[in-house]
A = this chain, B = another copy of it.
Amino acid sequence: MLQIRTDLAIEARELYKERNNIEVSGVEVEKEEKNDYTITRVKIVNEYGANQMGKPIGNYITIEVPALKKADQDLKDEISKVLAKELKALHKLDKSNKTLVVGLGNWNVTPDALGPKVVDKILVTRHYFEAYKKIEDETMANVSAISPGVMGLTGIETGEIIKGIVEKIKPDLVIAVDALASRKMERVSSTIQISDTGINPGSGVGNKRKGLNEEYLGIPVIAIGVPTVVDAATMVNDTIDMIIGEMKKQSKVGSNFYSMLEEMESEDKYQLIKEVLNPYMGNVMVTPKEVDDLIDDLSKVIANGLNISLHPGIDLKDVNRYLN
């Protein structure tokens, strides 16, 4: 069986259906359509589903907001609230929670800087609880946050860094925010995935060998991911498919082309592309031109969603007052 490689559960499911023309068994899907966004809740319920999807058993909630790139403040605020709501549905959050927010990724590579930028906007309070020897508070919960950097900069696996910190400060929950790669350009910067399975070896962009998950850290880990790049191989792959589509439409193509099409359709093609691209794959990224602004906006939307869900007495207006 072919391994499916994508950060987004909804894409894993799409790929499976494309190949097998059936739904993955062991996977439950629920869709909720709104005017400005769609929420898809994918639940992997057993090992069979996990294998088919190439993802661990658990919940994967995806919020797709096509207009997010050009959203006005109202829509941004609405998405922050949706994020907060889904987060609370996934994990009970109250004033007694001690949460560590982890911003994964490299702050020197714009499309990978989402996590660190979110962390910069998190309303951290743990130091006050420590200073005043407080256990809990009606307005604020105990929140800390860190951006550990990537293994290429630190020489240390992110998992080890976070585990070391977790053992020192003993939070109840880790929320890890990360930039992902999508297989479809239209999803870049317009899709948010929340999952209760943490971040697992191999998934995500960059070097995160030791998983940020409950198994390794010993506490629940929620992962929030947003695709900010398309990997080069994916892009070529999609384009070739588009070309073939075009050609079919224009019925420009002779019968022999269709047989060749059979030859190539399938994961083989994708693997071949990856192979030939490898020489420069490593250092190439495919990203929207306005990526700087997009990352700034997204990080605010996500940080606000976290701030209002983690702190019992904080709403969107307060956030702006407490922050900057």
Contact = CB atoms under 8 A, between A and B. Distances in A.
Interface of A: 69-74, 77, 107-110, 119-120, 124-128, 130, 143-149, 151-157, 160-161, 163-169, 185-186, 207, 230, 232, 235-236, 239-240, 242-243, 245-247, 252-254, 256-257, 259-260, 263, 272-273, 275-277, 280, 282-290, 292-294, 297, 316-317, 320-322, 324
Contacts of A130: 157
Contacts of A288: 283-285
A71 B317 CA distance: 9
Q: What number of copies of this chain does the assembly contain?
A: 4
Contacts of A246: 272, 275-276
A155 B320 contact: no
A284 B289 contact: yes
B186 A320 contact: no
28 contacts: A70-B322, A71-B321, A72-B317, A73-B77, A73-B320, A109-B289, A110-B292, A119-B149, A119-B154, A120-B153, A126-B155, A127-B151, A127-B155, A127-B157, A186-B280, A230-B284, A232-B235, A235-B284, A240-B240, A243-B273, A246-B272, A247-B272, A253-B260, A254-B259, A283-B290, A284-B286, A284-B289, A297-B324
Given A145-B153, A161-B168, A260-B260, A294 B243 contact: no
A108 B156 contact: no
A153 B163 CA distance: 19
Contact of A257 (B167, B260, B283): B260
Contact of A169 (B109, B160, B283): B160
Given A119-B153, A284-B289, 19 more contacts: A72-B317, A110-B110, A124-B155, A156-B169, A161-B165, A161-B168, A164-B166, A167-B167, A186-B280, A242-B276, A243-B272, A246-B275, A257-B260, A257-B263, A260-B260, A284-B286, A287-B287, A293-B324, A294-B324
Nearest to A160: B168
Nearest to A159: B168
A12 B74 CA distance: 41
A239 B277 contact: yes
Contacts of A243: 272-273, 276
A119 B106 CA distance: 12
Contacts of A290: 109, 283, 324
